[in-house]
Structure 1
Amino acid sequence: MRKVEELLKEKIPVGVLSNTHGLNGDLKLHTFTNLPEVIAKLVEVIAYNEAQKKFTYCKFEKIKKAHGYFIVHIAGVNTISEAEKLKGFVIYVDKSAFPKSKDGEYYFYELLNSEVYDENENYIGLVEDIVETGNNDVIVVKKNKSSKEEIMIPVIERYVLKIDKEGKKIQVKLPEWLE
């Protein structure tokens, strides 16, 4: 497992190969990012299937936008049966594939696993997930990995006082309903 963590440490998951498309080995890529320009520029990626515990390196030869997903052709995959073997693989890219986020902006990967503290520097937990609500994002904070208890904090100025992306630290004012 350590090898998996080391290999993916500086990588970001950008999508999952979900199904075949057509007869020539093309696959549907459902993305985790709202930056189509990142997907459009993909060439060499790492694909990992957690259920199978398998890695493969892929070279995208063609990428085209479809309705809510991309259709990709991977070098050496020319039949439906070859493409079937890649279903469920998550595509990872280097962080450098993303444009640098500006002040006041963030990518989800920059906040995930950040330590969260209140305004008195009391440890609250780690950011385990981020939920998009339409109006604003909400960070899901857990005291520890084994805890089932979650605290949800809206990512708005009223509650998020400071985000240190590089230091993986977020300072918040707890919402009234959590005090």
Structure 2
Amino acid sequence: MNHDPGRRILLGRVNGAFGVRGEIKLESWTEPREAIFRYQPWILRDPQGGERELRGVRGKVSGKSLVATFPDVTDRDMVEAMRGTEIYVPRSALPPPSPGEYYWVDLEGLRVLTVEGVDFGTVSHVFATGANDVLVARDGERERLIPFVQPQYVTGVDFDAGVVTVDWDPDF
């Protein structure tokens, strides 16, 4: 399995200030969303590409918002300057996935083959649509969007072989 210790997973983003005392509104892509606080240290990457590590983040759900306090952020201006900052954690900080579940980052780079053996290239990325997740297979210029629905379209994931097997029409 691809457990490169330097590999990171994007878990969320700073959306802006909550109140005036330095509390921060976050967007979280963890399930449930407040689980983001369980995975630390965070690697914060600002929109200019600057990075720093942060520990000791606390947070809670407040209505429709996820609200955090960072140990070194004390006022609204500091928060506003952080708007758009991405929150990463090392892949190693996450627990092993349950059987039949996958971290998207672990699928990236795997070869994509149809059940008939047609090579679709490699997994570029996976994204959510609301209805279901979509696997993006890229082979040079060609990109195929395949619903990540098991076992209907994604029939197998073999990390040892480095292959995702799909039941998908090569002409589609």
Greater mean deviation of Cα atoms: 60-69 or 82-91: 60-69
Matched, 1:113 2:109: yes
Q: How does 1:133-144 map to 2 (within 5 A)?
A: 133-134=129-130, 136-144=132-140
Counterpart amino acid of residue 87 in structure 1: R
Number of the residue aligned with 1:152: 145
Number of the residue aligned with 2:24: 27
Q: Which structure has the higher relative contact order (CA within 8 Å, separation 6+)? A: 2
Unaligned runs of 5+ in 2: none
Q: CA deviation at 1:109?
A: 2.0
Provide TM-score, normalisation by structure 1.
0.78
Kindly indicate whether the alpha-carbon contact (under 8 Å) linking 1:30 and 1:68 is maintained by their aligned counterparts in 2: no
Cα deviation per residue 1:72-97 (whole Å; 9 max; x = unaligned)? 11111101122222211111112233
The structure in which a higher percent of residues are helix is 1
Kindly indicate whether the alpha-carbon contact (under 8 Å) linking 2:123 and 2:135 is maintained by their aligned counterparts in 1: yes
Number of the residue aligned with 2:41: 44
Q: How does 1:1-179 map to 2 (within 5 A)?
A: 9-36=6-33, 38-49=35-46, 51-134=47-130, 136-144=132-140, 147=141, 149-154=142-147, 155-165=149-159, 168-175=162-169, 178=172
- RMSD across aligned positions (CA): 2.6
Give the aligned length: 168
Provide TM-score, normalisation by structure 2.
0.81
From the superposition, tell whether residues 157 and 87 of structure 1 become closer, same or farther in structure 2 (CA, over 3 Å): same
Kindly indicate whether the alpha-carbon contact (under 8 Å) linking 1:136 and 1:156 is maintained by their aligned counterparts in 2: no
Kindly indicate whether the alpha-carbon contact (under 8 Å) linking 2:6 and 2:91 is maintained by their aligned counterparts in 1: no
Unaligned runs of 5+ in 1: 1-7
Q: CA deviation at 1:162?
A: 1.6
